[in-house]
Chain A
Amino acid sequence: MASRQETVTGARAASRPPGRSLLPDRWLPYGMIGPAVFVAFAIAIVPLCYAFWLSLQDWYMLRQPLPKWGGLINYRALLQDTQLWASFGRTWIWTLGTVFVELLLAMPIALLLNRETGIARTASALILLPWVTPFIVLGFGWRFLLDSDVGPIHSFLHLIGIAGDSSVLNDPVLAFATIIFISGWKGTPFLVIALLAALKSIPDELYEAAEVDGAGAWSRFWHVTVPSIQNTVVTVGLVLGILAFYSFDLPWIMTKGGPQDATTIVGIAMYKAVFLDLRPAYAAAISIVMLVLLFIASMFALRARRID
């Protein structure tokens, strides 16, 4: 490899290489992207079309076993469903909160682990633990830790005045904040790993050049590190945001959406609509609306990327 790189000097105009591939270059991109598109189509597009069709049906399983055409009936109901809009609002807070916690925790940790010592290396593997542990175990673990009788974290919170006599999970606002924190905590490892990979791809020369120009540590961070990882942060942040948007397991296990709907986010609302209220068509309408909102938000978020 080294010899090839040495032949690259300065800018080379892109010239048409002598094609030796089996496919003519024209079709190569399609061939390369083909399989992925096929999977996307089969697993997402077809069900999506079905979900769209379903959202236009009138299907309350309690009253009729089969769907029948309902037009915009579900969307009309949706617009009037104040509880659902409240849960939409909560879901945005939840998503932004989760990503914020993830960024806050992951950045310093990634910087800390971006070293070559044995401890740094082992830590980067162990850091994955929250990410790979299933929600159900985390849920019970945290519930115990926050238990007002035996939970050590509760005692700590009580000490610093955040928690009263009963667990934070009893208070609507505190419960919501706590679970957002836990949600962010769980996603942090993934962001740490992605940031580490991005940090490692920043060439030393950039830092050296900045040092030579007299820049201090903070200035180096702001002018070298941040721009280089900006795109990673936006992409991965968006991914984590989308994952958080659809959360169901965590709030369901910790509080079942309570107390008093304080932690009922859209994922829980949809689950209830399908499995408990037996209204799959309504749930489909909710998911279509969610999709549209999320799409718009993603477009905005992606604009924050640097164009290289």
Chain B
Amino acid sequence: MRRTSPLREAGLDLLTLVVLFLLLVPILWVFVASVRPETDITGGGLWPQRLTFVHYEAILAKKPFLIALKNSLIVGIVVAIITTALALPAAYALSRFRFHGRTFFGLLVLGTQMLPSLAVLVPLVVIVRQLGLTNTLTALIFTHLALGMPIAVWMLKGYIDAIPKELEEAAMIDGCSRVGALTRIVIPLIRPAIIAVGTFAFVLSWGEYLMALALISKADVKTLPLALQGLFDPYSFSWGQVMAGGTIIALPAILLFLIFRKQLVGGLLAGGVKG
């Protein structure tokens, strides 16, 4: 990165904190509300005076919630992996090869992004039922693939386009196969993009509600959005529990992201594209 003075960096850091705070105010309120007693949330003013974890206890005591958490994690991770695994070769093929049907396939994949879940809901449910896969995580995983894959393909294609072909060609002249060139040259260079795409697929799957609603009714296969919706019982509604539930739902996604932060924000191979 370009050289700048430490003072300037410190100043920009301060600005970052301020901007971050402003952007996250609604979320911060949700976190804070989840540890305040019920009556304080609506009537107690802005600053928390009392702290309590009673909402978290209540939620975590609900076994269905924990099961839903586990299910969402499984589905999200598998979806992220498979989406990336499918999108990467497709993006590479679209970027590097000229072949018959290239435009057609490309448009086909992109076009699926434009389909609203509501439109495909009924037919997909029919198909899943015919296959006997209702109330399985497998069916959900398969339908979630469609959520992020088109975007993944087009994003990765964009990043791959930006990498000069010379690099792979040099490697292939040295005896590497096409696929080898893909794995050893291209992938490391676009690693941040791959992480971004995988995370994107994970997050879309994590928060997906409509498909889960249509395909799953058995308690042991439910995902988190379904479980959270169950908390909104008109007769025993608790702000605190809802906020606690929301916090629990947001947290794992953030944690995953903090873990992969380095790959995402850090390194492109410095000098990798020096002519």
Contact = CB atoms under 8 A, between A and B. Distances in A.
Given A5-B167, A40-B109, A125-B258, A136 B228 contact: yes
A125 B174 contact: no
Contact of B149 (A39, A109, A122, A127): A39
B3 to A, nearest CB: 10
Nearest to A232: B158
Contacts of B155: 194, 235-236, 239
B53 interface: no
Contact of A204 (B1, B94, B179): B1
Interface string A62-100: 000000000000000000000000000000000000000
A121 interface: yes
B94 to A, nearest CB: 7
A18 interface: yes
Nearest to B258: A125
Nearest to B9: A117
Counting contact residues on chain B (CB < 8 A from A), the size range is 35 or more
A248 B42 CA distance: 27
B91 to A, nearest CB: 9
Interface string B37-80: 00000110010000000000000000000000000000000000
Nearest to B42: A150
A304 interface: no
A43 B184 CA distance: 32
Q: Give the dominant DSSP class at A's interface.
A: helix
A113 B12 CA distance: 9
B145 A291 contact: no
Nearest to B45: A150
A270 B27 contact: no
B97 A7 contact: no
A28 B33 CA distance: 55
Interface string B214-252: 000000000011001100100000010011011001100
A113 B249 CA distance: 26
Contact of A115 (B12, B86, B184, B261): B12
Which of A129, A236, A288, A290 has the most chain B CB atoms closer than 10 A to its own CB?
A129
A122 B240 CA distance: 28
Contacts of B16: 112-113, 119-120, 123
B7 interface: no
Given A125-B254, A144-B29, A150-B42, A197 B105 contact: no
B105 A140 contact: no
Contact of A137 (B13, B161, B246): B246
Contacts of B149: 36, 39-40
B165 A14 contact: yes
Interface in B152-169: 153-155, 158-159, 161-162, 165-167, 169
A283 B119 contact: yes
A134 to B, nearest CB: 5
Given A18-B175, A40-B109, A128-B257, A200 B268 contact: yes
A204 B2 contact: yes
Interface residues of A, number: 113
A55 to B, nearest CB: 9
A48 B162 contact: no
Nearest to B267: A200
Interface string A36-74: 110111111111101100100000000000000000000
Given A29-B93, A36-B149, A43 B124 contact: yes
A181 B37 CA distance: 30
B115 A25 contact: no
A248 to B, nearest CB: 7
Contact of B250 (A129, A153, A188): A129
A197 B110 CA distance: 22
B250 to A, nearest CB: 5
A58 B189 CA distance: 53
Given A43-B120, A152-B46, 10 more contacts: A8-B167, A33-B90, A108-B19, A134-B225, A142-B26, A231-B161, A239-B151, A287-B119, A294-B114, A308-B161
Interface of B: 1-2, 9, 12-13, 15-17, 19-20, 23-27, 29-30, 33, 42-43, 46, 86-87, 89-90, 92-94, 97, 99, 102, 105, 108-120, 122-124, 126-127, 142-143, 145-146, 149-151, 153-155, 158-159, 161-162, 165-167, 169-180, 184-185, 188, 192-193, 196, 199-200, 203, 206-207, 209, 224-225, 228-229, 232, 239, 242-243, 245-246, 249-250, 253-254, 257-258, 261, 264-269, 271-275
Please name the 3 residue pairs, one residue from A and one from B, whose CB atoms are nearest each other, closest first: A137-B246, A17-B172, A44-B112
